[in-house]
Amino acid sequence: MTIRQIFHLCASIGLVSLVLVSFNNCSEHKPIGSSLNSLGPATTIQSSSKEQYYSLQSGGQLAHSMASVTGVEITTGIVNEYNARKALMSDNYAITSMNAPMLVAITNLASQYCGELVNKESKLTAPQRRFFNDIDFTKGTAAHNSEKILKVTDKMATLMLGRKLEGEERQIFIDSYADFTATLTGGAATSNASTRALLLYNCSSILSSFDFVTI
């Protein structure tokens, strides 16, 4: 093969590669393990229900998940809340089993973990905190504008859900900030309790969101 032929061959392979690489992102999402060649050709699993592709976490899973993402110690308060609510949680992973009492139970459990998280981080110096390093725990919401709270909430979402807040979610948190601060009267907005309550609210919202309770 001459130098010219090799040149031709390489250029041709390159063009094919370019097409393949360039259009890769337009193809359907390639699932995990698709590069695993030792298992041979993929077969299609016959599932009885599409709904089960979203799996709802059981009570035990949620309790462990919440502990995992918040990194808080499991306190007696958390254990008691879990024991009181676990019968209401999913026992079959089916998304169709979700109901109102279950959502209330999940939110209550989330609030326990989030309460511990706020307590824990409020005792640390700002650089030591994982979630709330932009927050001044000695001050009320008056010292934390919507933008700052949104930034902290975005960080929570990133650490807890593995992604940033999306458009509609951001708007919900902006609206809820406005609603929350509008209810504060007298000196409540300058009391540090209001900051803790707002963080508790936002954290509990994330831990009881669809993205979090499914796996």
* Candidate list 44, 125, 128, 185; residue touching other proteins; CB under 8 A: 44
Site for other proteins in 132-161 (CB under 8 A): 158-160
Supply angle C-alpha 21, 166, 215, rounded to 5. Answer: 80
Regarding 127 and contact with other proteins (CB under 8 A), the answer is no
**CA neighbor of 91 nearest in space, from 105, 107, 77:** 105
Regarding 175 and contact with other proteins (CB under 8 A), the answer is no
Regarding 12 and contact with other proteins (CB under 8 A), the answer is yes
Regarding 61 and contact with other proteins (CB under 8 A), the answer is yes
Neighbours of 80 (CB within 10 A): 11
Looking at the chain, list the stretches that DSSP marks H as alpha helix, in order from N- to C-terminal side.
Answer: 3-22, 59-70, 76-85, 100-122, 146-161, 167-182, 192-207, 210-213
By beta-carbon proximity to other proteins, the closer residue of 146 and 209 is 209
Neighbours of 210 (CB within 10 A): 10
Binding site for other proteins (CB under 8 A): 7, 10-15, 17-18, 21, 24-25, 31-36, 39-40, 42-49, 52-53, 55, 57-61, 63-69, 71, 73-74, 78-79, 82, 86-87, 89, 91-93, 158-160, 162, 212, 215
